[in-house]
Amino acid sequence: MRSLRLMMKEQTPLYIFVAVLFLVGVVFGALIVSALTLDQQQELGDYLGNFFVTVDQQGLPAAPDSYWDIAALNLKWIGLIWILGLSVIGLPGILILDFLKGVLIGFTVGCMVSEYSWHGMLFALVSVAPHNLVLIPVLLVGSAAAIAFSLLMIRSQVLGQLRSPVARPFVMYTVLSFGLAVLVLGISGFEAWVTPTMMRWVTPMLVSKG
């Protein structure tokens, strides 16, 4: 446990780097919304309107049914980051995933605000923000650990700068990733059971506005 804490402390600059990369993705995703053509904005508005009407009238899938879909999706992010961290060539992929996650969130929130003003912001706060306040730091910690291990592999295998075995860092990296995966299961439970309830509270306002 002490080794894990020390490892995470040493990776602080990487946390800052991936956090900035994620935030750049968020801004980029929000800017994409303003770059949409009128036809694309109309199609997006129609899609959102139909979605809110469906949620208001029929609700969302039952939590037990949606939980495993949500958990599987979130675990895929953790698993893919872990796999990319094991390879020398996986470093760019980790950075792309962090940027892409930011773009997805920025685009989603941007769409809500663009179409529904402050009502859209309220919906984003209850549907996007709560679980992502924990999920995003988890993904960023996993990404920083993956980048650190990938750099270690580069120094060891490509540059030949390290003579010490990478078995211990690999174990620490894997244990950390496993712990993050367990956290993701808990976050997915919140997203499956609590988030839909909050979404149903806000949806009627969006339907009436539409």
Helix or strand run (H / E) with residue 165: none
**CA 56 to the chain's CA centroid:** 26
CA 77/CA 69 separation, integer angstroms: 13
The pLDDT value given to residue 106: 95
162 has pLDDT over 90? no
Q: Poorest-confidence range of 113-117, 118-122, 153-157, 188-192?
A: 153-157
Q: Is the dihedral of CA 65, 71, 77, 81 positive or negative?
A: negative
21-132-35-27 Cα dihedral, nearest 10 degrees: -30
Q: What's the one-letter identity of residue 139?
A: L
pLDDT tens profile 74-99: 999 999 999 999 887 888 999 999 99
Q: Which residues have a Cβ under 8 Å from the Cβ of 98 and sit 6 or more positions away? A: 18, 21, 22, 25, 139, 140, 143
Nearest one of 37, 140, 33, 133 to 81, comparing CA atoms: 140
Nearest one of 123, 106, 130 to 210, comparing CA atoms: 123
Higher pLDDT, 81 or 7: 81
18 has pLDDT over 60? yes
Q: What is the largest distance, in Å, between two alpha-carbon atoms of the chain? A: 66
Share above pLDDT 90 across residues of the chain, in percent, rounded to a whole number? 44
Predicted confidence band of residue 158 (pLDDT cuts 50, 70, 90): low
